[in-house]
Amino acid sequence: MNSRANATGEAPYSYTLRDTRDADEHAACLTNWTQRYDQLSAGSFAGEFEEFCFGKVQLFREKLNQTVHQSGTAWPGSRTFAVPIVIEGTGWYNGQPYDSSSVLTLGGGDELDFRTPRRLEILACTAEADALNVHAQQVDHRNLEGELAGLKLTPVTPPRLEALGALLTTMMASLRAAPALLQHAYTRKAMEQAMFSALLDAVRTQEPSARPSCRTRQYVVSRAREYMQAHIDEPITVSDLCIELGVSRRTLQYSFQDVLDLNPVKFLRTLRLNAARRALKRAAASGRGTVTDVAGEWGFWHLSHFSADYKAMFGELPSETLRRSA
């Protein structure tokens, strides 16, 4: 386990990476879960486990080379989603076949009953169910727990399954390369919101609401711009705007696209890039701070994307701005 303490002495995140050679050893890896793994296929067991815990979420990856039966429970008050990244054969999850097109879900009070295929690698996210449901209500105007009632495997279209798997894979790779990003509260917030939004997009079971009127769209954009101006020194997210304005992500999307001919995600990213540029100049003048620090402070959790977007906007890399300003 690898963790870093913040200014108050508390660890804002933890990181675990472990190779396992025994099913019991592997079952004990997952933080705050109660699990039992029984190996069913013959042969030497080889597993790999990786986990990041921060904020209200737990992001983890499991890799197994043997068929096992998994039983147990997640931590109370949680909700889990798991996406297969590599799978050979078909598993059996709570009375239903589990294959490459499946996203399993597990509530905090539900019993895990999972017979895995012979070879399996999954990416999963466990979150506080209340936090996820509040996000769903405030940002998507949905009752997520109501939609998931009684479901063990969630209905997901192939494009949405691919998008969710890609986001979780990218998050895991980014944090593996620079776990110190999680020292920054805004990065933890941005990643948590991105994860929540991706989960909501993947398990969407409702048709989107009607397109807002022209007057509503203009009002939404005007309110959004007022809010952004009042919080110019904060890394505002789409979720922040939805909560402040009381509108859904789809309404915000329609409004920005029609009134400004610009995606709200790109608009907010532009503001944050400008703020990051000013922060890099200040860091250079003081002789303190790195590109990773500045990226983390402004919620850019994917460093290569940050560098590419920054260069596209300003014609130079963040490191070049830091060096030139010094």
Q: How confident is the model at residue 207 (pLDDT cuts 50, 70, 90)?
A: low
Structure tokens at 304: 């290569």
pLDDT in the model for residue 209: 60
pLDDT tens digit string along 178-192? 999 999 999 999 999
CB-CB contact of 237 with 268 (8 Å): yes
- Identify the CA nearest to 264 among candidates 223, 298, 292: 223
pLDDT in the model for residue 10: 65
Distance, in Å, from the CA atom of 170 to the CA atom of 176, rounded to the nearest integer, reads 10
- Identify the CA nearest to 29 among candidates 70, 65, 81: 70
Distance, in Å, from the CA atom of 128 to the CA atom of 208, rounded to the nearest integer, reads 25
Structure tokens at 260: 């400004």
5 has a pLDDT exceeding 60: no
Distance, in Å, from the CA atom of 323 to the CA atom of 290, rounded to the nearest integer, reads 10
The kind and range of the H/E element at 160 are helix 158-177
Distance, in Å, from the CA atom of 83 to the CA atom of 156, rounded to the nearest integer, reads 11
pLDDT in the model for residue 229: 83
Distance, in Å, from the CA atom of 268 to the CA atom of 271, rounded to the nearest integer, reads 5
7 has a pLDDT exceeding 60: no
Please state the φ and ψ torsions of residue 243, each to the nearest 5 degrees. Answer: -65, -45
